[in-house]
Structure 1
Amino acid sequence: MIQIFTDGASSGNPGPGGYGVILRKGSHYKELSGGFRKTTNNRMELLAVITGLEAIKNLNQDVTIYSDSKYIIDSVEKKWLDSWIRKGFVGKKNKDLWMRFHSIYTQHTVRFIWVKGHAGHPENERCDTLAVEASKDKNNWKIDSVFEAEHAKIL
């Protein structure tokens, strides 16, 4: 079984943001992170999960994802995502990331475990550190072009 630990961070909502991921299977351990100049916390939480799943090299794996994001866990486990897809995401945010998530999620057997954030869970704390560091690393920020384009329309 593959374990994926995730967290997202945003300084301001929207604002600079980042995600942190730990992948673990047996003695194999890998950390991933990335930062964006303007995004939201929910987008970073979701991108952390996507990044972890996309890092898996073989299909049809048993995966447990540990997240402190009720937004993600409830959206999947309470079948909100299925409804959003059927309705074309009318009135819902983050369609681009949810569709990306769905395409990789369906290639594995995934279960979620909610962990309380900032409560001393070692991997969650490490993912938070990775996410915050990435959100502050201006030299390596990426552009969340979908979010910025959508946000520009609102203004």
Structure 2
Amino acid sequence: MRTQLSINGTDYDLDLDPRTTLLDALRHHLKLTGSKKGCDHGQCGACTVLLNGRRVNACLTLLCMHDGDEIVTIEGLGEPGEMSALQEAFVSEDGYQCGYCTPGQICSATAMLEEAAQGWPSHVTGDLDAAAELSDAEISERMSGNLCRCSAYPNIVRAIRKAAEGTT
């Protein structure tokens, strides 16, 4: 099935089986291997990418559903020498250990910070009429769909806060 979309600012015209997931198209057909296949059930977040600015689990969505959409993967957020603020914060705060979950964590955190800036509440937001303070509990709740098997959570939260504060 023919699908046209923009990935990291480059237009693609793909003709793949309609059962191909977005994750498999990225990894196996376009060789964008930053997004990882962890659980293949949408439970770990290792495959998180940005779809029209919103975070999605690429393993749970079919490529053919996204004709005309804009996808951003970890490869589109920065590169060596020109890292995003979150990438720099993850490095400076050691927000990774094995690194397997890191691309999904950074993509998710990128969208999460935008959601918070737009005033979206989370389950733990205390005051729905005020801007959410990015406390440890707030960041942890908003990032709960991304698992880290190495348990680098304190460093991940510190990295996200550092990027949010603009102190990278």
Please give the TM-score of this superposition, normalised by the length of structure 1.
Answer: 0.26
* Bigger share in strand: 1
* Bigger share in helix: 1
Higher-Rg member (1/2): 2
Q: Which fold has the larger relative contact order, with Cα–Cα distance below 8 Å and residues 6 or more apart in sequence? A: 1
